[in-house]
Structure 1
Amino acid sequence: VMALRLPDVDYEDTEETLDCRSFAPSAFEMMQRIRRQGKMCDVTLKVNECKFTAHKIVLAAVIPYFTSMFTTDMAEANGNEIEISAIDENALEHLINYAYTGKITVNVETVQSIMIGANFLQLQVVKEFCANFIKSHLHPNNCLGICQFAELLMCMPLLEKAKSYLNQHFVEVSKSDEFLDLSKEKVLSILCRNELHVKSEEQLFYAASAWVKFKYTQRCEYMHELLQHIRLPLLRPQFLTDVIQMDAAIKSCLRCRDLVDKAKDYHLMPDRRSDFPPNMVRPRYCTEIHEMIYAVGGLTSAGEALNTVEKYSGLVGRWELVASMKTCRSRVGVAVLAGQLYAVGGYDGMNRLNTVEMYTPETDEWCDIKPMQEKRSALGCVAYEDQIFVCGGYDGVSSLSNCEVFRPHTQEWQKISPMNKSRSAAAVGVFEGCVYILGGHDGLSIFNSVECYDQSIDKWCMKVPMLSKRCRHGVASLQGCMFVFGGYDGQKFLNTVEVFDRVTNQWSFVAPMSMRRSRVGIAISGGKIFALGGYDGCTNLNSVEVYDPETNSWRKSDRMWAHEGGVGVGTIPLPLL
């Protein structure tokens, strides 16, 4: 054979590599076939009465547990039969097959045993795969069991996901058999959480009461310990008297009755509120709940009314347009009720409006509903207890003191008692289970006064005034405090922020916004407060900034895309994870 004389020729590329992508898969596939035939196997794994033959080199190459066993001086390194007692036989078969194929299939019946086996064999990739499968199958009926399972395997990503699910779905979880079967210590650890998503402490009491009643004779003596972790001062006096005080386990326990009496003192003697531990008078808030923020109507830079609506998700970090309202509305009132957005009154550029539209996110459509009795722009508007409250505003002639309430189940607007003052461009919010209206003006004077509506007696009562006079400002309530933002005091446009503390019964200043903002829109999402748009005295704004109450600091957020100036703002919770 003639010898090749390649080195005598001058080539640019003198080296090439064959990289056969199918080499490893085809080799392992052949080894799996050989194993199935029982040939060349040098180890047997025994679980109970089941035996599985395999090749040490394959197990050592893929499974860390066997890597250590077969490459060290362990006694099993030279043995032909190894007993495995910590793994279910079916799970072990799946994991051996994975060592040869790189594939494994789990379902709701097998995932738990396979994950236990993967944890024992230190197969982290398989363990994470199983954990992700379990995460996608979290449910109120299995959430607590998954918490315990993840804790047992020290799988922190699964544990954190299950705890987050518990926080977001506590009410549903508390009705499960798993919850009723919990130990006292586990129930107490749940009742301690600040992050539970509840409308009120009433839901915590009902959960604790149901747990006690499930095994009443054994558990009634624990009611005092449970009650210590329910924030009784935050409950309505009527609920304390009519429900909690009447509970059999509480009636029979002197220490329980003492706790209820102390909670009543919180309402009867406000000057003693500072005696209560801060965590017992601070409402729970689940920062894992995020809302879709809607910016509604408002003004163009030329001062014309808009019918444009856009929405923002902080999780995505993007504004996008949704269906426009039928009517252009500036100085519009916005409220959210039962997952639907209401645009109430406003000014269309020519007339003050009494018309109302309702937006349904699922269909991306607006529809007209029954109009208010009064025409109003610059009105206060808020939803509370399945009703929409509108307060004051301007009818084109004068500022208004009258108020009305819309009840969706009757589709009727009904007048309630008028405020003590006529108020236009005031801020309206819900705080301590009541509707508050703050500041505003009557056409002549700007106020710092505050009123609160007592629904039980249909009366407005004066409360502690703000430190600054404000109109065209915003308000938000979060974690037991009420914040007011920006506005106009008659001389200057404001960037200042005040907070009212229910315990001290006083207003104080906190970190100011980075910009002066009157006609500012306010929204809460994920435990943060968003300040949207407004007017700084020279320019209509599309900028957004976000306040963190925990750090008392502001940061910039994504600018609105389609709005400038004063917008109506509403938030609709995103679906729970």
Structure 2
Amino acid sequence: MTTSTPARLQVRGKAVISKKVERSQAVLDAIQNLQERRELCDFEVRVGAKILTVHRFVLQISSEYFRTMLQTDMVEATQGYVEMKDMDEKSVVSCVRFLYTGEIDVELDNIHHLLNAANLMQLEEVKSICYEYCISEMNVENCIDILALSKQFLYKESSKEVVNFILRNLSKVIDTTVFNELEKEDLDSVINCNTKSSNHTVLWVAVSRWISGDEASRSHHTLSFLNLINEFEVDCLFDLVITNRHVLASKECTALVARSLFDVTKEKKECVEARLNVCNFILLKQWTEIYRSVFDTTTFNEVLFS
């Protein structure tokens, strides 16, 4: 029997075809499945009653916190587990899950614990997600809490954004139950963000209300707030400032307010004249006598006795 030799297939040409198949999601899913089945796991994250079996390499490539821990002679690397003490169990579990899935659930009720865990593990992506969520959900009721979170866990830029929100909505924020919890330095930041178009009356009302929230420890800040606000509309000076008991109780404060009043420009002259009455006339006359050696009260006296 004669057998035939198969014809040889000849392919001519110099072209090289290179094709890349996207595998990143498939690999991520495979690693996640390994973790769920507890296969090839070589480390444990212990928090509360939970023991999470994980892969060292996943922790190391995703978190500087774990990379430092596992690539050095720290005790956790030797013993094969880390105990996350004084941490919220649900938040730690969520952060570890994020290392495998890239997904995380954020809500206002858990965001403080979540940020605490993400901050410890140095998970900047989780912190960025939390920041975006905070800004999207911010309102007059929670903006002060969000400012506290921003200062503790997030970024300088986020604090600025929250401060600007508070300034834009200050007339409503001061009516909330949490306004009194605002830190002095934060109220300073709000006032420092004010512009010439800002409502100085609202700023002063905010200051007065904040001081009244704890007069014993806050009244001494009156002078610094006066310096920050700096320029007052005439109506605000007459309606709120010169009658404020914290201002009247301080020689430094009255001197500062008096200087502002005595600096009467042509534009302000008519406004001052319109606001004079029997009660404030007596007070202002006393001030002109007290401060005549300090400030030029000539123009203001002309207003008083015109």
Range class of TM-score, shorter chain = 0.7 to 0.9
Q: Quick check: 1:187 aligned with 2:187?
A: yes
Q: How does 1:290-309 map to 2 (within 5 A)?
A: none
Alignment partner, residue 402 of structure 1:
none
C-alpha distance 80-188 of structure 1, shift in aligned 2 (>3 A):
same
CA–CA separation in structure 2 for the residues paired with 1:149 and 1:194: 23
CA–CA separation in structure 2 for the residues paired with 1:45 and 1:5: 63
The superposition leaves residues 176-223 of structure 1 with CA deviations (integer Å, 9 ceiling, x where unpaired) of 333322344443443333448633x22222111111222234433433
Q: Quick check: 1:261 aligned with 2:263?
A: no
Alignment partner, residue 220 of structure 1:
219
- Structure ranking higher in strand proportion: 1
Q: Quick check: 1:96 aligned with 2:96?
A: yes
CA–CA separation in structure 1 for the residues paired with 2:222 and 2:237: 15
CA–CA separation in structure 2 for the residues paired with 1:40 and 1:47: 21
Task: Give the secondary-structure state (helix, strand or coil) at the position aligned to 2:46.
Answer: strand
Q: How does 1:565-576 map to 2 (within 5 A)?
A: none
Task: Give the secondary-structure state (helix, strand or coil) at the position aligned to 2:263.
Answer: helix
CA–CA separation in structure 2 for the residues paired with 1:243 and 1:158: 33
CA–CA separation in structure 1 for the residues paired with 2:89 and 2:135: 24
The superposition leaves residues 49-107 of structure 1 with CA deviations (integer Å, 9 ceiling, x where unpaired) of 43222222322233332233333444432322212236422111011111222211211
CA–CA separation in structure 1 for the residues paired with 2:20 and 2:217: 73
Q: 8 Å contact 1:245–1:251 — kept in the other structure?
A: yes
C-alpha distance 79-8 of structure 1, shift in aligned 2 (>3 A):
farther
C-alpha distance 90-456 of structure 1, shift in aligned 2 (>3 A):
same
Q: 8 Å contact 1:167–1:196 — kept in the other structure?
A: no
CA–CA separation in structure 1 for the residues paired with 2:122 and 2:41: 23
Aligned residue among 9, 12, 15 for 2:11: 9
Q: 8 Å contact 1:50–1:89 — kept in the other structure?
A: yes
C-alpha distance 143-89 of structure 1, shift in aligned 2 (>3 A):
same
Alignment partner, residue 139 of structure 1:
139
Q: How does 1:272-283 map to 2 (within 5 A)?
A: none
CA–CA separation in structure 2 for the residues paired with 1:195 and 1:128: 29
Q: How does 1:285-324 map to 2 (within 5 A)?
A: none
Aligned residue among 19, 24, 27 for 2:27: 24
Q: Quick check: 1:33 aligned with 2:44?
A: no
1:242 shift after superposition: 4.4
C-alpha distance 82-197 of structure 1, shift in aligned 2 (>3 A):
farther
Q: Quick check: 1:246 aligned with 2:243?
A: yes
Task: Give the secondary-structure state (helix, strand or coil) at the position aligned to 2:108.
Answer: coil
CA–CA separation in structure 2 for the residues paired with 1:6 and 1:65: 60
Task: Give the secondary-structure state (helix, strand or coil) at the position aligned to 1:263.
Answer: helix
C-alpha distance 174-117 of structure 1, shift in aligned 2 (>3 A):
same
1:141 shift after superposition: 2.6
Note the aligned Cα RMSD (angstroms).
3.5
C-alpha distance 42-433 of structure 1, shift in aligned 2 (>3 A):
farther
Task: Give the secondary-structure state (helix, strand or coil) at the position aligned to 2:178.
Answer: helix
Q: 8 Å contact 2:144–2:179 — kept in the other structure?
A: yes
Query: Given residue 28 of structure 1, which amino acid in structure 2 is its aligned partner?
Result: I
- Regions of 4+ moved over 4 Å: 4-8, 11-18, 452-457
Task: Give the secondary-structure state (helix, strand or coil) at the position aligned to 1:128.
Answer: helix
C-alpha distance 193-62 of structure 1, shift in aligned 2 (>3 A):
closer
1:159 shift after superposition: 2.0
1:48 shift after superposition: 3.9
Alignment partner, residue 50 of structure 2:
50
CA–CA separation in structure 2 for the residues paired with 1:140 and 1:156: 20
- Structure ranking higher in helix proportion: 2
Task: Give the secondary-structure state (helix, strand or coil) at the position aligned to 1:108.
Answer: coil
CA–CA separation in structure 2 for the residues paired with 1:149 and 1:253: 35
Q: How does 1:177-576 map to 2 (within 5 A)?
A: 177-195=177-195, 198-199=198-199, 201-232=200-231, 234-236=232-234, 239-267=236-264, 270=265
Task: Give the secondary-structure state (helix, strand or coil) at the position aligned to 2:104.
Answer: coil
Query: Identity of paired residues, percent?
Result: 22
Alignment partner, residue 169 of structure 2:
169
CA–CA separation in structure 2 for the residues paired with 1:227 and 1:257: 10
User: What are the ranges of 5 or more consecutive residues in structure 1 without an aligned counterpart?
Assistant: 272-431, 435-451, 458-577
The superposition leaves residues 283-307 of structure 1 with CA deviations (integer Å, 9 ceiling, x where unpaired) of xxxxxxxxxxxxxxxxxxxxxxxxx
Q: 8 Å contact 1:168–1:197 — kept in the other structure?
A: no
CA–CA separation in structure 2 for the residues paired with 1:453 and 1:261: 16
Q: 8 Å contact 1:171–1:198 — kept in the other structure?
A: no
CA–CA separation in structure 2 for the residues paired with 1:111 and 1:5: 71
Q: 8 Å contact 2:164–2:190 — kept in the other structure?
A: no
